[in-house]
Amino acid sequence: MREVALAELPGLVGQEIGVSDWLEITQDRVNRFADATGDHQWIHVDVERATKEIGAPIAHGYLVSSLIPFLAKNIISYQGVSRGINYGSNKVRFTNMVPVGSKLRMRLTVKAVEMRGGAYQLTNECTLELEGQERPACVAETVSLLYPG
């Protein structure tokens, strides 16, 4: 994991910060996400039907994107931060299905850093790679606010 002081962030624009460890997507995780969101579409939770019709159940796209903060904490640690807030996403694309049992990892690149209301506004490109596939599962441009303290 890379440790970065807030003052160093502007110098990292355009750089890949690192790559997370692989994370296996389990049916239990998919089921818990379905319960949390109310999205119980059969392609996610009906293992028998999904296996028969599409080869395996697949993770929700929003489950995949919701893993960004979890995977990021294995890549980078910000020093001197009192709090961090997810500000939004400029762009999110789900470019490949994520079958249950597959593994994801994330590549993190700093796209922009600006001061905004006493915070560092950090824009990152997050590429969630699918083990054994050329095309990533998700590419997202996320925006966070990091407050010094």
Residue range 37-49: average pLDDT? 98
Tokens 């249950």 sit on residue: 100
Mean pLDDT of the chain: 97
What is the rounded CA–CA span in Å between residue 103 and residue 54? 18
pLDDT tens-digit readout, 17-39: 999 999 999 999 999 999 999 99
Q: What is the pLDDT of residue 73?
A: 94
What is the rounded CA–CA span in Å between residue 79 and residue 67? 22
- All structural domains of the chain, each given as residue ranges with its CATH number in brackets, are 2-6+13-148 (3.10.129.10)
Using CA atoms, how far residue 21 sits from 10, 29, 60, 71, 123, in Å, is 26, 17, 20, 8, 22
What is the rounded CA–CA span in Å between residue 81 and residue 58? 36
What is the rounded CA–CA span in Å between residue 134 and residue 41? 27
Q: What is the pLDDT of residue 82?
A: 96
Q: What is the pLDDT of residue 86?
A: 94
With bands split at pLDDT 50, 70 and 90, how would you rate the model's confidence at 129?
Answer: very high
Q: What is the pLDDT of residue 68?
A: 97
With bands split at pLDDT 50, 70 and 90, how would you rate the model's confidence at 14?
Answer: very high
